[in-house]
Amino acid sequence: MARSRTKRPGLRTVIWLVVLFVALVSVLGGGVLASQASWAPKLALDLEGGTQMILAPKVTGGGAVTQDQLNQAVEIIRQRVDGSGVSEAEISTQSSRNVVVSLPGTPSAQTRQLIQASADMNFRPVLTAGDPAAVAKDKLLPDAQLPNPTAAPTNASDTNWITADLYKQYEALDCTQPQAETTQRSDPAKPLVTCQPAASGGQAVKYLLGPVEIPGADISGSTYGLVQGQQGSVTNQWAVNIQFNADGTKKFKDVTQRLNGFYVAAGSTSGADPRAQFAIVLDDKVLSAPQALAVITDGHPQITGSFTQSSAQTLSDQLRFGALPISFDIQSEEQISATLGTEQLQMGLLAGAIGLLLVVVYSLFQYRALGFVTIFSLVVAGLLTYLAISILGWTQNYRLSLAGVAGLIVAIGQTADSFIVYFERIRDELREGRGLVSAVENGWKRAKRTVLASKAVNLLASVVLYFVAVGNVRGFAFTLGLTAIADLIVVFMFTHPTLQLLARTKFFGEGHRFSGLDPVQLGAVPLYRGAGRLREASEAARSTLKPKNAAAAAEAGRRMTIAERRAAAAENGGKSDLAAAGKSGQRTERSQEEN
């Protein structure tokens, strides 16, 4: 026996939306009970205020700091602060001498240490490399197959460095997840399990590295440029050139001699033996891990690969400045207020309230009772976005900035657009003579494609803006994209199911004049006339419209078939324009009332 359809379509979807809200509230509530989260979103520096520190650079052994070195130090500090989970931080140079760091709230002791610590760069040989994700439990090596060193390691590339515990740590590491920054650095005399973060368009890699063989202090400089061919011709391939000092030259010759042996033994097959690679490590994260294709005796190795000009310049700067033993002293520290941001926030919220009020007034004026669906949909979208921002603030330390608030305000109009598109599609179906239940379903099929296309464009614009912009503009792009996702959830899980339920009520289903879906006010002529009769061509011209509904009459005339237009023209003395068709219906209505 066929399964009967539910008598209240849409109710199940609304229930799932309620379940989603309960889940989000439960997650956030659990964090609040554990004293790890707050019901209110975290605010950024411009809205909450925070701490401003002026850092004075200090070079080990004395000497002055150049502007290039200071700029690179700023980039290193920014990477550390972002990696520690602090968002919306502002880092810049001051008078070419100092670094100014502004952080929302009060920075922790660990964040202070990260800011002040000098960079740690070194070169380590690769022992093994693999997939960045953690190994599933059912695929872990059994204890009997785990590495078991048989002798003391003879060099940094010796696999006897890999113990069973170290290999378990390697299996458990998940490089697809963000790695937290720490102030504790690895022991240079011991192996290291670490990641190479995913580059633009690339993939993260997991490494097990041997002890440090060359410290970054042995780098005397680095440059980048296009590779020259054997005949001196310039190719289109970018490369990074390193220069070692005397000690580094000797060490690098010994290292490449050993690593190149692995490369040759593997038959010069790229990637056949990871031990042919050496890793360039900054703050215990791999920047690059090139292969030793030859023995480098002059201390001038060249790194080639799939570099762009930008990525080659970035690696060159990291090599040139990342190894410099620059640390920072906190010269001054003060609390900064959010007075200006608070005033701007109040003005922004006022503008948002005015915009929301105008949307409400327009919805009620244009759609009457149907406008309340728009209002409740906006409320649901607002609550969903609020919970998402609060949870992201707890789990990802996301902070809402003034630019982010602007993104939320702009999203009000974009969210209302989705509902208007849907409502107009339903009205179009009613004008065609369909009943409300059928109009809701057919209108949804037509509106769904438009809404999806619109939100896809919004999301694409938000993603592009987020990745190409800097500073607070990224906060605007993030909230704009977040509200686009919330809008889709609300339209699919609240607005459409609610209209499915309302279509079966007497008030909306029978087209009450204040419902916003009155077929008469919309200029509709039912296709089925009752008693087995269908709408005749002449009936479209003689629809019972009141004189005050001239616009609806014109709309009905615009939707006539060719036969109906000819009939309307005959009723109107030969005129066939659409407005005349509507006026013909009005004159017919008045003559009927007089008789």
pTM: predicted TM-score of the whole model, two decimal places: 0.58
Alpha-carbon gap, residue 382 to 490, rounded angstroms = 10
Higher pLDDT, 248 or 71: 248
Statement: residue 540 has pLDDT above 50: no
Q: How far apart are CA 378 and CA 142, in angstroms?
A: 55
171 shares its domain with 317 = yes
Strand partners, 205: 196
Strands 121-130, 214-215: pairing is: antiparallel
Q: What 3-state class would DSSP assign to 335?
A: strand
Please report which confidence band the pLDDT of residue 117 belongs to, taking 50, 70 and 90 as the band edges.
low
Same domain, 440 and 580: no
In a domain, 26, yes or no: yes
Asked if residue 460 and residue 407 are part of one domain, the reply reads yes
- Examine the domain organization and report whether 228 and 361 are in the same domain: no
> Which residue is it, tokens 């490399």?
129
pLDDT for res 127: 94
What was the pLDDT predicted at 62? 62
Distance CA 291, CA 275 (A): 9
User: What number of CA atoms fall less than 13 Å from residue 374's CA on the CB side?
Assistant: 30
What is the rounded CA–CA span in Å between residue 322 and residue 219? 10
Does some domain include residue 274?
yes
Q: Cβ(107)–Cβ(90) under 8 Å?
A: no
Q: What is the 3-state secondary structure (H, E, C) of 21-43?
A: HHHHHHHHHHHHHCCCCCCCCCE
pLDDT of residue 581: 44
Q: Residue 534: inside a domain, yes or no?
A: no
Q: In what order do the strands lie in the sheet with 50-59?
A: 90-94, 98-104, 50-59, 326-336
Give the tens place of pLDDT for each residue, 165-202: 999 999 999 888 876 666 567 888 999 999 988 765 56
Contact 127/209 with Cβ under 8 angstroms? yes
Least confident segment among 21-30, 328-337, 430-439, 547-556: 547-556
Residues in the chain: 595
* 218 and 147 within one domain: yes
Domain boundary among 324, 359, 378: 324
Distance CA 65, CA 58 (A): 8
Task: Supply the pLDDT for residue 473.
Answer: 80
- Classify strands 219-228 and 528-530 as parallel, antiparallel or unpaired: unpaired
| Of the candidates 471, 469, 352, the residue with the CA atom closest to the CA atom of residue 415 | 352
Q: CATH number of the domain that 75 lies in?
A: 3.30.70.3400
Tell whether 232 is covered by a domain.
yes
**For the chain, percent of residues with pLDDT exceeding 90:** 29
Letter for the amino acid at 437? V
Q: Are residues 314 and 458 in the same domain?
A: no
Domain presence at residue 404: yes
Given this model, what pLDDT does residue 484 score? 92
CB-CB contact of 485 with 409 (8 Å): no
Cβ contact 171:208 at 8 Å: no
Instruction: Could you list the beta-strand ranges (E) of 203-321.
Output: 205-209, 214-215, 219-228, 234-244, 278-282, 285-288, 302-304
- Residue 524 placed within a domain: no
The CA distance from 72 to 76, in Å, is: 6
Residue 300 lies in a domain: yes
With contact defined as beta carbons under 8 Å apart, do 125 and 259 qualify?
Answer: yes
Q: How confident is the model at residue 3 (pLDDT cuts 50, 70, 90)?
A: very low
Q: Comparing 33-47, 110-124, 473-487, which segment has the lowest mean pLDDT?
A: 110-124
Q: Of 509, 529, 563, which residue constitutes the final position of a domain? A: 509
pLDDT tens-digit series, residues 397-432: 788 888 888 888 888 888 888 888 999 899 888 887
* Average pLDDT, rounded, for the chain: 80
The answer to whether 364 and 374 have CB atoms below 8 angstroms apart is no
Which of 573, 270, 564, 277 has the alpha carbon at shortest distance from 431?
564
Q: Are residues 444 and 369 in the same domain?
A: yes
DSSP state of 543: -
In a domain, 520, yes or no: no
**Are both 300 and 362 inside the same structural domain?**
no
Q: How far apart are CA 427 and CA 368, in angstroms?
A: 13
User: Structural domain of residue 465, as residue ranges?
Assistant: 11-42+339-509
- Is there a single domain that holds both residue 255 and residue 277? yes
Q: Which residues pair with 129 in a beta bridge?
A: 207
How far from 310 is each of 72, 298, 300, 306, 452, CA to CA, in Å?
15, 27, 21, 11, 35
39: left (phi over 0), alpha (psi -120 to 50) or beta: alpha
Q: Are residues 189 and 301 in the same domain?
A: yes
Are 38 and 71 in a shared domain?
Answer: no
Q: Which of 146, 150, 179 is nearest to 79 (CA)?
A: 179
For the chain, the farthest-separated pair of C-alpha atoms sits apart, in whole angstroms, at 114
Distance CA 425, CA 252 (A): 71
Mean pLDDT of 107-125: 76
Burial of 459 (0-12, 13-18, 19+ CB in 10 A): middle
**Per-residue confidence (pLDDT) for residue 341, from 0 to 100:** 63
Q: Same domain for 31 and 107?
A: no
pLDDT tens column, 490-538: 999 999 999 999 998 989 988 888 888 887 777 665 555 555 555 554 4
Of 509, 524, 558, which residue sits at a domain end?
A: 509
Instruction: Compute CA distances 354 → 21, 261, 546, whole Å.
Output: 27, 73, 36
C-alpha–C-alpha distance, residues 170 and 187, integer Å: 17
Domain count of the chain?
4
Q: What distance lies between CA 512 and its chain's CA centroid?
A: 44
